[in-house]
Amino acid sequence: VGLDAADVWANASKNKAGSDTDASYSAYYNGYADTKAFIEKGFADFITVDAPGSLDDDSLGFESICTWWSSLAKESDLPLYIVHHNEKIGTDETGWGVEDQLLKQLATAAELDNYCGSVFYSEKSLEENPMGTTDTLTKYFNEQINVDSLFEDLEMTSPYYTNYSTDDTSVAFMGTFDENFDVYFDGEKLSLNDAGNFYFEKQLEVGMNTFVITHKGKTIYYNIERTINVLKSIGSSIVQGKSLSVDGGFSVSILAIAYKGSYVTASLNGTSVELKENAKSDFVDINSSYAAFTGKIKVPEGIVDEEQYLGNIEISASYAGYSRTYIGADVTVNAVKLPDKNIEIIDEIPTDQSSFGSGEVVGRLTAAVGEDTEVTYVKLNKNFAYIYDGTNTDSVNPPNVGQLPEGTLDYYKSGWDEYYVTTSGKRFLTEDAELVSGVGMGENPLVVSAIGNMGGDSYIKMSVEDRASFTVTPIGNEYYSGYDGDFYLDSFTAKYIYITFDNITSVTALPDFDNCSVFSSGEWQQVEVNGVMKFRLVLTLRQPGVYAGNSATYDDEGNLTFKFEILTNDIKNLTIVIDPGHGVTEYGYDDPGAIGHIEEAGANLAVAKKLESKLKALGVNVIRLNTESQFYDTMRRPYYAREYGCDLYIAIHSNKAGSESPRGTECYYYTSYS
């Protein structure tokens, strides 16, 4: 004897033991039949549940009804059978207008406790085979349906919008779907690749382009208008309305975003240069039809006490008979003001002093700016602030200089866009610094107190009265120029590290280097930089080409400590931070990166996890940034890595290739000693 549960027993809103439904009629309250008690008292040998709603029904949801009866069947150890209302297929009733409803119900039922089989309400519907549902049911019972993808629908990764305008010449379509049902693009059947995606590109005609994708009752309409815009934009630092005041001989860096293959030029004051197309750039979406074009225009040398107005930068691009010109920033060359040279007190500075922290003064210079002069300082508000070349407008900071610590002071010279420029030739982002008023540093002695090894680093400790800026540069590398800059390098061959100090008026003797693993010796030099005498500390590497960079910090007492990591052959001593490229954006959605047959972000994460596993097996301390679930600002990711005190930071990306079967790897370094 079986119980035909044609109605819900009771709604949970009225009886806490009831089902999560909103039925207008219940067996217990409207039919006066306690069907739940019938089962609990053993009046039936099996249960047949009538489930009239779809999986999407809010009132009589298939899963809510069946789960409730399944729990009761399990408590009484009775078999459970489910009646599916297949006569509703193809109707307007919620959830029944798609062909996968019955399959999803069967897959859901298969997960229920004590489920033993299904009944289909309409034999006529099985014979008529609406939307091919009888065929798919047959495949299901013959185990020809992939249940794992059954609950997937048509999901598009690209394009992100369905109605938009674009300057691109083509559009990439990428997505996934339930492989149990066909998907059609403009009537043409698509198939999934081995990664479970589909990917293809469509060329866009000028004007409106329409595309249609259909799958399981879902239709997506794309209306994409292609416009012609050969020259899309120019660098933000040189747009019209900006005014650049630069020193003579300064190189103005030009950035233009134009169609790949365009001929692009920039001109200023009668000087014209052809811009070079960059194969890769952070300024361009890798999936677009545009490329970054870069070049430099050198301005004339300055004239004493006379400014030179050069007019506006003009950038032009042409492609396939189309052309466009942008007017950019206006440029003025600053008047030259000849500085008073510092007075060199001591002609000869002893090299490689061996007295430990003696405090013996071995060199003096007069102050560039006295304490009686009112000045404006650029004061850094964070460690590892980006340092840019103050003699050009490059938006990428040079890789051949070290970092400056929080609290560093330098004299303010000028400002433009989001930068402060200092008299020492440095340029800082306004978000990394602030302007403060004060008086000149005047006398600013530097005292070297100790040199040695500590905590796995070689260090040099010194004190200064005012936190003057400096520049750390490796010397002895053979750089050459490439499409992306002037710091290409085949190998790191530096023999010396130069630390050139700004606004220091005296220095003391160096201790010996007997207990310093990174450097074998050092000496003070007095050098002239842009007409100003400065002190330079020349450090000789104990092993040429063996160097891992430096950090520098000021403590509360004004002590400046340089640390230089001691490299060893034991990989277990390393802390490595792995950064899987792209991932979650600041707006919460995923940035897929480059798209093709797979998403770049997914590939990056898979490689990162594999690398993490292999390095940990070797005993390395590994930290992987959780870019798949947490937002990390791309420009600041190295800062996050430094918070872990890492020895190596590895950012993993998968660049889009022009070949269907690419092999190999690319490795890009930033600093010369990477």
Separation CA 476–CA 460 (nearest Å): 22
Residues 442 and 554 reside in one and the same domain = yes
Same-domain pairing of 296 and 401:
no
pLDDT of residue 355: 35
| pLDDT value, residue 674 | 74
Q: Does one domain contain both 86 and 160?
A: no
State whether 427 and 532 are in the same domain.
yes
Residue 11 covered by a domain: yes
How far is the C-alpha of 666 from the C-alpha of 282, rounded, in Å? 16
Identify any residues that bridge with 527 across adjacent strands, giving them in sequence order.
534
Predicted confidence at residue 669, as pLDDT, reads 78
The pLDDT assigned to 351 comes to 36
Whether 557 and 429 share a structural domain: yes
What pLDDT was estimated at residue 347?
36
CB 556 within 8 Å of CB 406: no
Give the pLDDT confidence score for residue 338 in this predicted structure.
61
3-state secondary structure at position 333: strand
Domain count, the chain: 5
CB < 8 Å & 24+ apart, contacts of 565-568: 565/456, 565/457, 565/518, 565/647, 566/453, 566/456, 566/457, 566/458, 566/517, 566/518
355 lies in some domain = no
In a domain, 275, yes or no: yes
- Output the domain CATH number for residue 178: 2.60.40.10
Tell whether 578 and 449 lie within a shared domain: no
Chain length of the chain: 674
For residue 92, tell me if it sits in a domain: yes
Query: Does one domain contain both 622 and 497?
Result: no
Residues of the chain scoring pLDDT < 50: 340-356
Last residue of a domain, one of 168, 193, 226: 226
pLDDT score recorded for residue 440: 95
Strands 290-298, 276-277: pairing is: antiparallel
Q: Whose structure tokens read 């750390």? A: 472
The dihedral built from the CA positions of residue 110, 112, 116 and 118, taken in this order, carries a sign that is negative
Domain-embedded: residue 29: yes
Report the pLDDT value the prediction gives residue 662, as an integer from 0 to 100.
Answer: 72
DSSP assignment of 42-69: T--SEEEEEE-S-TT-SSS-HHHHHHHH
Same domain, 215 and 251: no
Q: What is the DSSP string of 93-109?
A: STT-SSTTHHHHHHHHH
Residue 268 sits in the same domain as residue 401: no
What SS3 string covers 508-576?
ECCCCCCCCCCEEEEEEEEEEECCEEEEEEEEEECCCCCCCCEEEEECCCCEEEEEEECCCCCHHHCEE
- Residue 375 in domain: yes
State which residues form the domain around 329: 231-333
Distances (CA, A) of 339 to 334, 342, 372: 14, 9, 17
Contacts (Cβ under 8 Å, ≥6 apart) of 400 = 473, 474, 477, 479, 487, 671, 672
Q: What per-residue confidence (pLDDT) applies to 352? A: 32
pLDDT at position 82: 97
342 found inside a domain: no
Pairing state of beta strands 575-580 and 621-624?
Answer: parallel
pLDDT for the residue 339: 54
Same domain, 447 and 306: no
pTM of the model: 0.65
Q: What's the pLDDT score for residue 598? A: 85
* Helix (H) or strand (E) run with residue 637 in it: helix 637-642
- Residue 601's SS3 state is helix
220 and 243 within one domain: no
Q: What is the pLDDT of residue 658?
A: 64
Domain presence at residue 673: no
Residues 6+ apart with CB under 8 A from 393: 235, 237, 238, 244, 246, 251, 252, 253
Q: d(Cα 415, Cα 551) in Å, to the nearest integer? A: 27
For residue 570, the model assigns a pLDDT of 78
Together in a domain, 389 and 535: yes
